[in-house]
Amino acid sequence: MKIRRAQKPLVAAVVFSIIELVPAGCGNGTATSTGASPTPAASPSGAVSAIAAQLPGSVKAKGALTVAADATYAPNEFIGTDGHTVVGLDADLAKALGQVLGLNVSVINATFATIIPGLASGKYDLGMSSFTDTKEREKTVDFVTYFVAGTSFYVKSDGGPDISSLADLCGRTVAAEQGTTQQADAQAQAAKCESAGKPGMTVQVFNDQNAVNLALSSGRAQVAMADSPVAAYQVKQSNGTFTVSGSPYGTAPYGIAIPKDSGMAEPVLAAVKQVMSDGTYTKILGRWGVQGGAISDPAINAAVS
């Protein structure tokens, strides 16, 4: 998962990077450059006054939220058919939360590894990009949980290795996105392979998930790793070129990343509970086919590890 994330017109290209699979995939490097066009602002007409009243004064005065997402992680966040709008699970949920909070919402495409630093600097108000809520990250940002996912391996259907656990990666070349749980897990496993005297493992780290997919499709990597819904989506869009290998591991909560001690965690939590109770949450997950990751007990800083 993205310690992340996880994680883009629908076209079938020879190279099945998520970026080339829009509306089911992710935008390409040009269309999804950092800071690309935001989603249209969500109308605040559905505000719940008791929840909006919890917002810090500075946020109320601004009347808007800037939400950062790495739009290479379909179906969670990717570039839509217009070539610049961020769409997906997280974008839809961000706009729904904005409705409840009475705030306009702009979802901005940003490189994953830059989002948490951008929260700390005040560049973004929230990060919604398939972030795994971890104890280490909670030292820097607060999280409100809203989903669960694991990590999956995926390989080429024709001749790809059989991978059912991290231990099976010894002797393989593995691709992962920078800053993700997958990168951390792969690098830790590489060290274990070496210390156990097993065949060496090469970990290729890329700036976004599109490049991970390209490495796999081009044969530079034998195994790719991503959050389970993202891997499943990419496999589905590959028309048989890729297949998931083994079962997901390491299921953990996704969290909305919030600047530490900003006063935003409580109102965001209340807004998440509201969209869950009024049915909006279920509709959004159904729209993107990720109902399996639904939760009913969102919480602040609920990392499991």
Which parts of the chain sit beneath pLDDT 50?
A: 4, 6-37, 40, 43, 45
pLDDT the model gives residue 26: 32
Question: Which of helix, strand or coil describes residue 19?
Answer: helix
Task: Let me know whether 109 and 211 are in one domain.
Answer: no
Please state, in angstroms and rounded to a whole number, the distance separating the CA atoms of residues 73 and 96.
Answer: 20
Contact 201, 189 (CB under 8 A): yes
pTM: 0.81
Contact 141, 116 (CB under 8 A): yes
- Tell me the residue range of the domain where 128 lies: 18-149+251-290
Number of domains in the chain: 2
Torsion of CA 280, 104, 132, 169, to 10 degrees: 90
Tokens 């992340």 sit at which residue?
4
Task: Let me know whether 162 and 227 are in one domain.
Answer: yes
Task: Let me know whether 137 and 160 are in one domain.
Answer: no
Residue 117 lies in a domain: yes
Kindly tell me the burial class for residue 55, based on how many C-beta atoms sit within 10 Å of its own C-beta (0-12, 13-18, 19 or more): buried
Task: Let me know whether 27 and 38 are in one domain.
Answer: yes
Question: What are 13-72's pLDDT values in tens digits?
Answer: 333 333 333 333 333 333 333 344 455 455 454 789 999 999 999 999 999 999 999 999
Using the Cα atoms of residue 203, residue 205, residue 208 and residue 214 in order, give the sign of their dihedral. negative
Residue 104 lies in a domain: yes
Q: Are strands 173-177 and 202-206 parallel, antiparallel or unpaired?
A: parallel
Task: Let me know whether 70 and 209 are in one domain.
Answer: no
Cα angle vertex 119, ends 270, 152, to 5°? 80
Beta strand spans in the chain (E): 64-69, 72-73, 77-79, 86-87, 104-109, 126-127, 141-156, 173-177, 202-206, 223-227, 242-259
Please state, in angstroms and rounded to a whole number, the distance separating the CA atoms of residues 261 and 263.
Answer: 6
Q: Which of 231, 249, 267 is the last residue of a domain?
A: 249
Please state, in angstroms and rounded to a whole number, the distance separating the CA atoms of residues 285 and 290.
Answer: 5
Q: In the chain, what's the furthest Cα-to-Cα distance?
A: 61
- The DSSP code for 292 is G
pLDDT the model gives residue 12: 32
> Which of 199, 198, 168 is closest to 186 using CA atoms?
168
pLDDT the model gives residue 296: 97
pLDDT the model gives residue 1: 52
Question: Residue 292, Cβ neighbours under 10 Å: how many?
Answer: 13
State the CATH number of the domain containing residue 214: 3.40.190.10
pLDDT the model gives residue 41: 52
